[in-house]
Amino acid sequence: MVKALSKDLRDRLLNVVEGGMTCRAAATRFGVAPSTAIRWVSRLKETGHRTPKRQGGDLRSHHIEAHGDFILGLVEERKDITLAEIAEKLESERAFKVAQSTIWRFFARRGITFKKRQRTLLSSNGQTS
């Protein structure tokens, strides 16, 4: 992900534009893209903020978190349930369609893992793979 340019550069460019210079001329002067200067000035006019917008982050997990108790209840009820079965139950009982990968991330956030086979016992006479 690209890092935001420095606050100092942003402030200097915005001050020059507020002083009467065009966005494109200010962009050339400070070595940024004209579209960047235009976006910065637009943000200042719309919100009054000179700081960059927040980048990245989780925007959607709250959808599945709303069904968290139901999902954990399914696992408690049946320990060997698969992600596909959980997705199917969510769709049929809660009318919530979700991908298996989303359910996997739900469990990963909680540190819950499922192993379908038992560990191999250590061999007394050699390495096991």
Helices and strands per DSSP (H, E), number in the chain: 7, 0
CA 72/CA 102 separation, integer angstroms = 14
pLDDT digits (tens, 9 = 90+) for 62-103: 999 999 999 999 999 998 899 999 999 999 999 999 999 999
CA 1/CA 4 separation, integer angstroms = 9
pLDDT in the model for residue 103: 95
Tokens of 30: 């400070």
Pick from 55, 4, 1, 56: nearest CA to 32? 4
pLDDT digits (tens, 9 = 90+) for 109-129: 999 887 666 666 666 676 655
Structure confidence at residue 57 as a pLDDT band (50, 70, 90): confident
Domain ranges of the chain: 7-47, 61-110
The label of the residue with tokens 């893992």 reads 113
The pTM (predicted TM-score) of the whole model is 0.55
Strand, helix or coil for residue 20: coil
3-7, 40-44, 92-96, 104-108: lowest mean pLDDT where? 3-7
